[in-house]
Copies of this chain bind each other. A is one copy, B any other.
Amino acid sequence: MSVLTIERKVLEKNDIIAAANRKLLQSHNLYSINLVSSPGSGKTSLVERTIAACQNKIRIGVIEGDIQTDLDARRVDALGVAVVQIVTHGACHLEAALIGDSLKQLDLPHLELLIIENVGNLVCPSGYDLGENVKVVVVSTTEGDDKPLKYPAMFRNASALIINKIDLLPYLNSSVDDMEKNALSINPALRVFRTSCTSGEGIEEWCEWLQSQISKK
């Protein structure tokens, strides 16, 4: 039995549980996104901004994935939104079974949007279906415009791209146009947003898109 065989079995088992999660979420007419990025791209700030902008229009629940600490869940909890913290204790990505357990802690019939914030890792979470409707990859301008070329799997598997921290562009040698072009060369179907969670720029457009996706369901 080779390591590759084991890995395939782990992914197959994950896919079965992800399908069950998807069925459960669909039965509650609940739209879900899996937010993925490097550490420090601004996923939690984006979750905070999204809640602030949409809370009166959309009923939101959040699952926070972290290797250690419940710092992110506390930030979300402070905004009065239902949140479950998953601590992976070293594991580099969320798996469907962890999401399945977390869904039991949420009042699903009451929710319209579930935001899953994955562990900060631009590589490993790309291969793990959690049962979400779409993966949304966040990349910050400070990471450099070559990142889509260097970490293509995440951009290939996502439906939307958020280029965050555009407020810092005047101080960087990095081009947001090149970053977008590089991402679209990997996945031309990506819906791209440019945001700043500091200034709030672009958040409205992102929230309108979320609302349109929820209405479409």
Contact = CB atoms under 8 A, between A and B. Distances in A.
Interface in A109-168: 119-124, 139-140, 142-144, 146-147, 149-153, 165, 167-168
A96 to B, nearest CB: 16
Copies of this protein chain in the complex: 2
A90 interface: yes
A40 interface: yes
The size bracket of the interface on A is 35 or more
A189 interface: no
B40 A144 contact: yes
Interface stretch (A46-54, A66-74, A202-210): A66-74
Given A67-B123, A124-B123, A40 B147 contact: yes
A26 interface: no
A39 interface: yes
Interface string A194-212: 0000100000000000000
Given A3-B6, A123-B67, A168-B171, A147 B92 contact: no
Interface string A19-63: 000000000000000000011100000000000000000000000
Contact of A153 (B69, B90, B171): B90
Interface of A: 1, 3, 6, 10, 38-40, 66-69, 71, 90, 92, 119-124, 139-140, 142-144, 146-147, 149-153, 165, 167-168, 171, 173, 198
